């Protein structure tokens, strides 16, 4: 993978000057490469990973992972069904998988009920969907390689003899 991409993937806030120092590439060349990667659609956007437990967002909603078994459409395969599914605004991610199910769909909603309504009213009745299994995320410990909460140290003083 491109060295500049690897650095930005770990921390998108890394400046072109910092990348230049890390790679030995001139800052102007780094800026030019980043612009090219953005223009070519390799870099889609920059985003922050937010620990919602610490930010105390009470209305942050729920996230669920949904295993979806589908029947691929003749001459279209899985692509057409996946496209229809990922167009729903509730769907944040959609992956073609190997194994016991075909798609893994990540869904966000205001509550467990809104997610279950999405599955019951929109996803399950779709033509070519053979079955779903929904897993609600109860707590996130690590996301995209980043640990979300450091272990708390005991506030009790150590006993020494």
Mind giving me the DSSP string for 65-106? EEEEEEPPBTTTBTHHHHHHHHTSTTEEEEEE-SSS-SEEEE
- Regarding whether 72 and 27 lie in a shared domain, the answer is no
More confident position, 161 or 6: 6
Tokens at 27, concatenated: 């800052």
Q: Residue 75: which pLDDT band, with cuts at 50, 70 and 90?
A: confident
CATH number for 109: 3.30.70.920
Considering the entire predicted model, what is its pTM? Answer: 0.75
Clarify whether residues 68 and 133 are in a common domain.
yes
Query: Structural domain of residue 23, as residue ranges?
Result: 3-39
Same domain, 66 and 123: yes
């Amino acid at each position: 993978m491109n060295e500049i991409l690897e650095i930005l993937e770990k921390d998108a806030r890394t400046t072109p000057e910092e990348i230049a120092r890390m790679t030995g590439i001139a800052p102007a060349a780094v800026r030019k490469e980043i612009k090219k990667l953005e223009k070519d659609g390799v870099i889609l956007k920059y985003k922050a990973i937010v620990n919602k437990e610490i930010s105390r967002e009470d209305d942050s909603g729920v996230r669920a992972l949904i295993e979806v078994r589908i029947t691929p459409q003749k001459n279209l395969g899985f692509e057409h069904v996946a496209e229809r599914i990922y167009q729903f605004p509730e769907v944040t991610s959609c992956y073609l998988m190997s194994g016991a199910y075909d798609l893994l769909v990540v869904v966000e909603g205001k509550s467990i009920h809104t997610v279950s309504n999405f599955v019951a009213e929109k996803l399950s009745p779709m033509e070519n969907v053979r079955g779903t299994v929904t897993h609600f995320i109860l707590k996130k410990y690590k996301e995209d390689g980043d640990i979300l909460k450091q272990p708390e140290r005991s506030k009790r003083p150590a006993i020494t003899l």
